[in-house]
């Protein structure tokens, strides 16, 4: 069936550097995408979202890029901080009534 997958299960980044977390999706009908951050012992926390009519959206220190041609989504974190260490999930859905499908997650480790 359709699924959302991640290329890298673990990403190690030095504090202050930029992080890029990637996500591939296979459902070409997906039109809404979300990035969640999950810290140890906590629930997933909404970071940023993007709809399929956009290819870029910026938040505070985060940017999401969407390439529909290759069905690829990325989350960029500027000036990565120790507090950014967490597991990051991408999620996608196709249409208002469809289910939100989560990827397997990428662990971001920030080294000092």
Positions that interact with other proteins (CB under 8 A): 32, 34, 36, 41-46, 49, 89, 93, 96-97, 99-100, 102-105
Q: Which residue number, 25 or 36, has a Cβ lying nearer to other proteins?
A: 36
Residue 54 CB, nearest distance to other proteins (Å)?
A: 14
Q: Which residue number, 29 or 46, has a Cβ lying nearer to other proteins?
A: 46
Residue 44 CB, nearest distance to other proteins (Å)?
A: 5
Q: Which residue number, 60 or 69, has a Cβ lying nearer to other proteins?
A: 60
Per-residue three-class SS string for the chain: CCCEECCCCEEEEECCCCEEEEEEECCCCCCEEEEEEECCCCCCEEEEEEECCCCEEECCCEEEEEECCCCEEEEEECCCCHHHCEEEEEEEECCCCCCCEECCCEEEEEEC
Residue 37 CB, nearest distance to other proteins (Å)?
A: 11
């Amino acid at each position: 069936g359709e699924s959302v997958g991640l290329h890298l299960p673990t990403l190690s980044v030095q504090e202050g550097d930029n992080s890029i977390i990637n996500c591939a999706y296979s459902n070409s009908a997906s039109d809404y995408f979300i990035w969640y951050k999950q810290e140890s012992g906590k629930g997933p926390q909404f970071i940023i979202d993007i709809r399929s009519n956009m290819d870029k959206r910026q938040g505070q220190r985060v940017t999401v890029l969407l390439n529909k041609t290759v069905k690829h989504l990325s989350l960029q974190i500027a000036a990565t901080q120790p507090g950014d260490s967490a597991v990051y999930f991408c999620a996608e859905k196709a249409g208002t009534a469809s289910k939100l499908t989560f990827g397997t997650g990428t662990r971001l480790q920030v080294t000092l």
